[in-house]
Amino acid sequence: MVKFSIPAVALSIGAGISSASAFAPSPPFSSTRRAASPLGMAAVAEQQQRQSPLAPLTVWGDRIPDIIESQRAVRSRSSEIEFAPTVRSSDIGLSRDDVDGQLSYFRDNAHEIRRTMVECGAVIFRDFDLMKEQSGFVNFYEALGMKVCLDPLHSVSARPTVDGSKNSPVYEAVNKESRKNFFIGMHNEFVGTRAPRAAAFVCFKPAETGGEFLIADGRKIFRDLDADVVGRLYGRGIRYSVMELPFFGWIDSYVPEFARPATMDLIKGLVSAAINAKVDFAVDLRWGEGGYDGVRMLQARAPSQPPILVHPVTGEPHWFCNVHSHSSKLRKDREAIYGAERFEDGASQINKSDMFYGDDGVIDDSDLEHIDEVTMKNVQFVKMEAGDVVLLDNYKCMHGRNVFDGTRKHGVAWFEGWEGEEEMRRAGRNGDDDADASRRRGAEAAVPFFATSL
Ligand SMILES: [Fe+2]
């Protein structure tokens, strides 16, 4: 989950899943295939020597003038929403072991695949041996013209890489055995002010049991939420608690009562300076009431932001809110099903998160339960096999991960964008200069430009 840490995942059931018909299969590959030239491990190593750029700043976009009317409009065109089509190698006339043909397919159809990713939120690729190994996976997304960036957690904690090398662009997708009973709630990858534009999740080895990758369409979640809940959350905004520091029980044990206020002010100032020097967004510290496990704690909250955005390319409104993964209540509810989170070290406790209204108000349990119900109704469980990839638009498509048993090896590459993105964006807005300028303002803002001031 996380902000400072965890990632997210999820899937959606049901409606809207289309077939490979969204793609126009290429002509017989025997006639169109170019000489494939897999990069090989040497090229992967070379890429790892290059420093990827930071994840891009989040594109907050324009504030939606009438959020309820916007939701009505989405509901009225609900049947038009298509989500996450699946493409199998056999759909395009290739055998699963024809890695050269597969690479040619991705090169020849890159534009159409990227367009489908943006319009449908995600594309699921199955039975492609090309992506069974990291080198082929890198070849895959480079053939598509995707531009890698650093993990958004880069500035606060390094997510491990699949091959263990420091500069690898392929990160572990929460495979640790110690986290196997932790259901990673639905989220968009987003840390502080940064959010990758897209991502490719790959399976190198599926877990023996469970471990499905989860995806959900943010447009459908927005569509299905109760209008009153949408109105409250959008009107007041949201803010995350991004970490809890549960180390301050000694204040009550060893500091005389008369000296506690001054001691706490001093600690808060020092910790605030240390954290704000480490991250690129403003963090507000608050002493917790009761603390973690009964221990006095400091809670760090990020700035207020909107829970619903307009898509940076298509302009469609969609849910962009990590409450499902970050809500302390929803996590505790899941613990009742899957067992308690296993905190093996202090870092795990620090990464505990929660979500509040933008004015720091507490969100009612009934609203959280409703959000959970709507989210899970839209989750699609994708049981990935070795070589399967889910290419997703990180704004439109949320993700998560089911609990698992056994050994799981999934990876992820983050993208700051792709070749032709600017042209796609202009076409999506029909060259609306005002909208373009507004989106640029949003992209350049360190925090949402309509965020509640604190
Ligand atoms: Fe994630």
Domain boundaries, the chain: 20-235+372-444
What does the pLDDT average to over 21-25?
27
- How far is Cα 5 from Cα 174, in angstroms, rounded to an integer? 10
CA of 173 to the centre of ligand 1 (A): 8
CA of 224 to the centre of ligand 1 (A): 23
**DSSP codes, 54-88:** PPPBP---PPPS-HHHHHHHHHHTGGG--B--EEE
SS3 120: helix
CA of 377 to the centre of ligand 1 (A): 19
CA gyration radius, the chain: 22
Query: What phi and psi values does residue 12 have, to the nearest 5 degrees?
Result: -130, 145
**292-315 per-position pLDDT tens digit:** 456 778 888 888 999 999 999 999
CA of 101 to the centre of ligand 1 (A): 31
User: What was the pLDDT predicted at 270?
Assistant: 84
CA of 167 to the centre of ligand 1 (A): 19
CA of 401 to the centre of ligand 1 (A): 9
CA of 8 to the centre of ligand 1 (A): 3
CA of 118 to the centre of ligand 1 (A): 18
Give the contacts of 265 (CB within 8 A, at least 6 positions apart).
none
CA of 394 to the centre of ligand 1 (A): 9
CA of 281 to the centre of ligand 1 (A): 19
CA dihedral sign of residues 116, 125, 47, 211:
positive
CA of 273 to the centre of ligand 1 (A): 28
CA dihedral sign of residues 332, 174, 199, 161:
positive
**411-437 per-position pLDDT tens digit:** 999 999 999 998 888 886 654 444 444
CA of 239 to the centre of ligand 1 (A): 18
CA of 182 to the centre of ligand 1 (A): 13
User: What was the pLDDT predicted at 43?
Assistant: 53
CA of 199 to the centre of ligand 1 (A): 10
CA of 415 to the centre of ligand 1 (A): 13
SS3 209: strand
- Domain 20-235+372-444 = CATH 3.60.130: yes
- Which residue from 446, 416, 151 is spatially nearest to 280, judged by alpha carbons? 446
pTM value surpassing 0.85? no
User: What was the pLDDT predicted at 160?
Assistant: 87
**Residues of the chain above pLDDT 70, percent:** 78
CA of 203 to the centre of ligand 1 (A): 15
CA of 269 to the centre of ligand 1 (A): 31
CA of 276 to the centre of ligand 1 (A): 23
- How far is Cα 124 from Cα 371, in angstroms, rounded to an integer? 26
- Look up tokens 């390094």; give the residue: 158
CA of 184 to the centre of ligand 1 (A): 8
CB-based burial label for 130 (10 Å; 0-12, 13-18, 19+): buried
User: What was the pLDDT predicted at 261?
Assistant: 85
**141-192 per-position pLDDT tens digit:** 999 999 999 998 776 666 889 988 888 899 988 888 888 988 999 999 998 7
CA of 223 to the centre of ligand 1 (A): 23
User: What was the pLDDT predicted at 399?
Assistant: 98
CA of 411 to the centre of ligand 1 (A): 11
**6-18 per-position pLDDT tens digit:** 233 222 222 222 2
SS3 34: coil
3-class SS letters over 303-362:
CCECCEEECCCCCCEEECCCHHHHCHHHHHHHHHHHCCCCCCCHHHHHCCCEEEECCCCC
Helix H or strand E encompassing 390: strand 389-393
Beta strand pairing call for 209-210 and 404-405: antiparallel
- Which residue from 136, 133, 189 is spatially nearest to 162, judged by alpha carbons? 133
CA of 322 to the centre of ligand 1 (A): 10
- How far is Cα 72 from Cα 83, in angstroms, rounded to an integer? 19
Among 280-284, 364-368, 370-374, name the one with the lowest average pLDDT.
Answer: 280-284
- How far is Cα 264 from Cα 285, in angstroms, rounded to an integer? 11
pLDDT-derived band at 217 (thresholds 50, 70, 90) equals very high
**How far from 230 is each of 43, 61, 83, 323, CA to CA, in Å?**
48, 18, 22, 13
CA of 335 to the centre of ligand 1 (A): 19
